[in-house]
């Protein structure tokens, strides 16, 4: 038996595997499918460096796979069918049970579509597959993380995931197309597309979303347009688009009554609306390194009654409009504004001020 390479014990009534399995130094495949009384494997099993494939589909009582799981390379997708499994940690694959829902993390997943076994997993709500090639999804997903999937050119079809709440596609450096159904995801609240260097724009329907609260576009260096319909995104609270190629902020942005953070740092010579009046919830505005001239600063900057942090560092203006209306302002940054001749009237509550370097 010491030379055994394959152990096939599917559909048996086995309750436990003897610790001596740890002496089978050439064992490469272990098939225990539908051993519905099996609860766990002996610790000695996990010391084997030869096992490459472990099959546990249908082991309904199985509870735990140990972290030290040797050289196993293949854990089949049907592992999610183990109803009592609460934790799996294997190199790049992990499954966790939190409450009544399952979370699957599979870094570097080579699959382009999800095998049929996955579709019987109504409790799978979080799918993290960083560095993957996945294009087909699961109906019940709430969180989808495909970040660092460098070969992903088009996003998946979001009509497959109507319950999606969080979409994370950051560092998908080849991504250039977002499926238009994204605008019809009624529960979507977080969209992170940072570092998608090839992304130029978003589908027009996206801007009709009434649920998105956070939109992150940082370092999307070819992103050129925020559509005029952005004013319809009534739930938007955070918009970050640092170091993009956006040329103009649509005037409709002032309709975003819930917007609390707007960051456009490093968006050179961006054209801002003549008026920002209406952004009554805005607490943080970052326009640093935009190289804005005098006529590029909205004259009613002082109308942002909730503003607490204002960063205007690294700009080219000589003067600023009155800031006296910013009664909530606590931090004002004017670093490296070398052309600024006079500092405007500063609200009394400001605690931190950084001036131009001489």
Phi-psi region of 131 (alpha: psi -120 to 50; beta: other; left: phi over 0): left
Phi-psi region of 303 (alpha: psi -120 to 50; beta: other; left: phi over 0): alpha
Structure token digits, residue 276? 């920002």
Q: How far is CA 172 from CA 41, 76, 108, in A?
A: 38, 26, 13
Kind and range of the H or E element at 89?
A: strand 87-90
Q: What would the pLDDT profile of 161-206 be if each residue is shown by its tens digit?
A: 899 999 999 999 999 999 999 999 999 999 999 999 999 999 999 9
Q: Which of 174, 173, 168 is nearest to 188 (CA)?
A: 168
Distance CA 17, CA 32 (A): 10
Task: Supply the DSSP string of 114-152, one letter for each residue.
Answer: --GGGGG-TTEEEEE-TT-------TT-SEEE-TT-TT-
What per-residue confidence (pLDDT) applies to 105? Answer: 60
Give CA angle at 204 (201, 209), nearest 5°.
110
Distance CA 235, CA 106 (A): 31
- Of 97-101, 126-130, 139-143, give the lowest mean pLDDT range: 97-101
- 143-145 vs 166-168, strand pairing mode: parallel
Residues 114/134, Cβ–Cβ less than 8 Å: yes
Residues 235/259, Cβ–Cβ less than 8 Å: no
pLDDT at position 293 over 80? yes
What per-residue confidence (pLDDT) applies to 51? Answer: 81
Distance CA 142, CA 138 (A): 9
What per-residue confidence (pLDDT) applies to 281? Answer: 99
Q: What would the pLDDT profile of 262-292 be if each residue is shown by its tens digit?
A: 999 999 989 999 999 999 999 999 999 999 9
Q: Which of 288, 287, 257 is nearest to 272 (CA)?
A: 287
pLDDT at position 110 over 60? no
Rounded to two decimals, the pTM is 0.72
């Amino acid at each position: 038996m010491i030379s055994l390479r394959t152990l096939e014990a599917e559909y048996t009534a086995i309750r436990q595997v003897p610790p001596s399995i740890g002496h089978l130094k050439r064992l490469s495949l272990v098939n225990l499918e539908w051993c519905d009384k099996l609860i766990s494997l002996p610790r000695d099993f996990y010391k084997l460096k030869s096992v490459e494939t472990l099959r546990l589909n249908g082991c309904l009582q199985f509870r735990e796979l140990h972290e030290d799981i040797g050289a196993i390379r293949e854990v089949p997708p049907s592992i999610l069918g183990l109803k009592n499994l609460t934790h799996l940690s294997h190199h790049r694959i992990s499954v966790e049970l939190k409450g009544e829902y399952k979370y699957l993390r599979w870094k570097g997943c080579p699959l382009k579509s999800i095998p049929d076994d996955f579709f019987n997993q109504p409790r799978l709500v979080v799918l993290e597959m960083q560095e993957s090639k996945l294009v087909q999804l699961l109906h019940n997903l709430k969180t989808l993380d495909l970040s660092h999937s460098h070969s992903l050119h088009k996003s998946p079809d979001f009509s497959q995931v109507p319950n999606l709440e969080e979409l994370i596609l950051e560092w998908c450096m080849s991504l250039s197309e977002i499926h238009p159904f994204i605008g019809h995801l009624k529960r979507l609240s977080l969209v992170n597309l940072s570092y998608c260097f090839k992304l130029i724009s978003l589908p027009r329907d996206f801007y009709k979303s009434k649920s998105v609260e956070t939109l992150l576009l940082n370092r999307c260096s070819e992103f050129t347009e925020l559509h005029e319909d952005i004013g319809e995104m009534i739930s938007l609270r955070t918009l970050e688009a640092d170091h993009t190629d956006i040329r103009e902020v649509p005037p409709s942005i002032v309709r975003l009554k819930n917007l609390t953070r707007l960051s456009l740092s490093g968006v050179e010579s961006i054209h801002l609306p003549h008026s920002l009046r209406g952004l009554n919830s805005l607490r943080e505005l970052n326009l640093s390194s935009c190289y804005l001239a005098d006529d590029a600063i909205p004259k009613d900057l002082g109308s942002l009654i909730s503003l607490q942090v204002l960063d205007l560092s690294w700009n080219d203006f000589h003067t600023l409009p009155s800031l006296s209306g910013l009664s909530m302002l606590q931090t004002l940054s004017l670093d490296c504004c070398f052309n600024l001749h006079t500092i405007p009237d500063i609200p009394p509550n400001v605690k931190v001020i950084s001036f131009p370097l001489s």
